[in-house]
């Protein structure tokens, strides 16, 4: 972004290729979520009335006032915004879910993250008592998040600038993971249809939070959350316990998502517009500028960068506009037409404008967008094959080369970001990102 408003993000998409392994001992499938219903304690008995002459016990110390949630300004914006749209059910559930996470805090989940990631990569194939405990504690916000994903489509309150209130990113991501982990638990216990219902809700929840009029950070988070849904959905689709109706419902959701996929250029254009507007406001509003400088007092390098960026913007706004126009054109091209030199020249211009550090890496965002849609279409092809519609599976186009996805007897695959057809023999490694060779593969069985 122009003017020292650095947005850093790391997208962690789940692996595309995952096997379906039930959690079993002998021939008996165990239920990893058994006993996970919340146990409500009986109410405390009232204190007896004091006896005449007895010394009354000291009154308990007053409970400290709760700390206001960092998302409180956004909740207020939601209330203001709701009068302008018809469908508020999902938005209300989202607010309830995020407020529930505020009450518990996401810090407590940090230690659990390796276990959650393990379940999302491999399925629920081992006992995870600490995860079950977390699902119990967070049952209410998880249920609200599921209800949000199952509600009719809704819009988020638009952001008018980078300093407008926004929802808590950490809680949004945590709820996405917890919903999918709960779905994995139901799948391991043999409740494939219930797993499908929750995983579909997680997908809807992720999609509703993809707001093009929010900074690119939120677009990236939504991509990451959406990508995380596909390995779980693929395991569910391959389950022999899944009903035909549930499989059709998953296929319908995926088709709708694919047809409504917004162009990345829209999010890039919005980011550029917000960035330019913010820079102009900082130049013309001395009080706002001084407020930002005061907030950067303990970050001297960021303060210098902010001032240099503003100075350059004031002297050469046309160059900044040319940079954003270049990124917009880059985002409109399909993956196979994006030359590395295109991005390199734009990054060089950004460096000249003192903008290299604050800018998001749009090359990475574009790659993640392509990867997410590829995973979506691979899952659609898997649904078609498991529904005995093999020919339909060959009609989905590969976002990385524009050709139909490759379907063989045992797998469906994309050529991946290198554009080379390795016939499914060389696996794409997500950790290497856009530079990884190999095909993105989903096994059919």
Tell me the Cα Rg of the chain.
25
For residue range 295-307, what is the model confidence (pLDDT) as tens digits? 888 888 888 888 8
Q: Tell me, what DSSP letter sits at residue 214?
A: S
CB burial string 70-79: b at 16+ within 10 A, e below: ebeebbebbe
pLDDT of 128 > 70? The answer is: yes
Q: Which neighbouring-strand residues pair with 412?
A: 407, 442
The CB density around residue 343, as the number of other CB atoms within 10 Å, is: 18
| This model's pTM is above 0.75 | yes
For 193, residues 6+ apart whose C-beta sits below 8 A from its C-beta are 241, 242, 243, 246
How many residues comprise the chain?
445
Long-range contact set of residues 323-326: C-beta below 8 Å, sequence gap at least 24: 323/349, 323/350, 323/353, 323/355, 324/268, 324/269, 324/272, 324/275, 324/276, 325/272
CA distance 123 to 134: 17
CB of 413 within 8 A of CB of 422?
Answer: no
Structure confidence at residue 218 (pLDDT)? 85
With residue 29 as reference, give the H or E element that holds it.
strand 28-29
Question: Using alpha carbons only, what angle is made at residue 369 by residues 105 and 346, rounded to the nearest 5 degrees?
Answer: 105
Q: Is 60 left (phi over 0), alpha (psi -120 to 50) or beta?
A: beta
Distances from the Cα of 52 to the Cα of 49, 55, 56, 58, angstroms = 9, 9, 10, 16
pLDDT of 356 > 60? The answer is: no
Who wins on pLDDT, 10 or 392? 392
Q: Percent of the chain having pLDDT more than 90? A: 49
Q: Tell me, what DSSP letter sits at residue 403?
A: S
Q: Tell me, what DSSP letter sits at residue 441?
A: E
pLDDT of 215 > 90? The answer is: no
Specify the 3-state DSSP secondary structure of 2.
coil
Question: Using alpha carbons only, what angle is made at residue 151 by residues 32 and 173, rounded to the nearest 5 degrees?
Answer: 55
Q: Which neighbouring-strand residues pair with 441?
A: 413
For residue range 229-287, what is the model confidence (pLDDT) as tens digits? 999 999 999 999 999 999 999 999 999 999 999 899 998 998 888 888 888 989 899 99
Range of 1-5, 101-105, 437-441 with top mean pLDDT: 437-441
Specify the 3-state DSSP secondary structure of 242.
coil
CA distance 130 to 118: 13
């Amino acid at each position: 972004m122009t003017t020292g408003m650095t947005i850093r993000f790391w997208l962690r998409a789940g692996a595309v290729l995952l096997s379906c392994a039930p959690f079993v001992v002998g021939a008996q499938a165990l239920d990893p979520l058994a006993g996970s219903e919340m146990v409500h304690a009986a109410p405390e008995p009232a204190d007896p009335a004091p006896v005449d002459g007895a010394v009354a016990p000291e009154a308990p110390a007053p409970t400290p006032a709760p700390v206001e949630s960092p998302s409180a300004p956004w909740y207020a914006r939601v209330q203001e915004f709701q009068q302008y749209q018809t469908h508020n059910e999902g938005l209300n559930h989202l607010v309830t879910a995020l407020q529930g996470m505020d009450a518990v805090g996401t810090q407590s989940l940090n230690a659990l993250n390796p276990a959650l990631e393990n379940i999302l990569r491999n399925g629920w194939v081992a006992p995870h008592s600490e995860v079950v405990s977390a699902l119990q504690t967070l049952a209410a916000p998880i249920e609200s998040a599921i209800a949000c994903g199952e509600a009719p489509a809704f819009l988020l309150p638009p952001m008018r600038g980078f300093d407008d209130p926004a929802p808590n990113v950490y809680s949004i991501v945590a709820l996405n993971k917890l919903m999918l982990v709960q779905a994995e638990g139901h799948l391991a216990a043999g409740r494939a249809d219930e797993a499908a219902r929750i995983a579909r809700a997680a997908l809807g929840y992720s999609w509703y939070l993809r707001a093009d009029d929010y900074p690119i950070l939120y677009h990236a988070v939504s991509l990451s959350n959406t990508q995380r849904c596909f390995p779980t959905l693929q395991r569910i689709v391959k389950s022999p316990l899944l009903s035909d109706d549930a499989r059709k419902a998953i296929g319908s959701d995926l088709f709708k998502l694919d047809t409504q996929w917004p162009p990345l250029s829209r999010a890039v254009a919005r980011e550029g517009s917000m960035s330019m507007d913010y820079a102009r406001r900082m130049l013309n509003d001395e009080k706002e500028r001084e407020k930002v400088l005061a907030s950067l007092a303990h970050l001297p390098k960021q303060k210098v960068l902010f001032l240099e960026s503003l100075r350059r913007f004031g002297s050469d706004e046309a160059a900044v506009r040319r940079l954003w126009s270049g990124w917009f054109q880059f985002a409109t091209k399909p993956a196979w037409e994006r030359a590395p030199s295109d991005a390199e020249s734009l990054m060089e211009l950004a460096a000249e404008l003192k903008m290299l550090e604050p800018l998001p890496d749009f090359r990475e965002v574009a790659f993640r967008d392509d990867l997410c849609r590829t995973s979506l279409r691979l899952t659609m092809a898997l649904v078609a094959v498991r529904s005995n519609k093999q020919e339909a599976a060959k009609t989905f186009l590969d976002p990385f080369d524009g050709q139909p996805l490759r379907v063989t007897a045992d797998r469906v695959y994309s050529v991946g970001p290198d554009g080379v057809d390795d016939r499914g023999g060389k696996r794409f490694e997500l950790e290497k990102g856009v530079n990884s060779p190999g095909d993105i593969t989903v096994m059919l069985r």
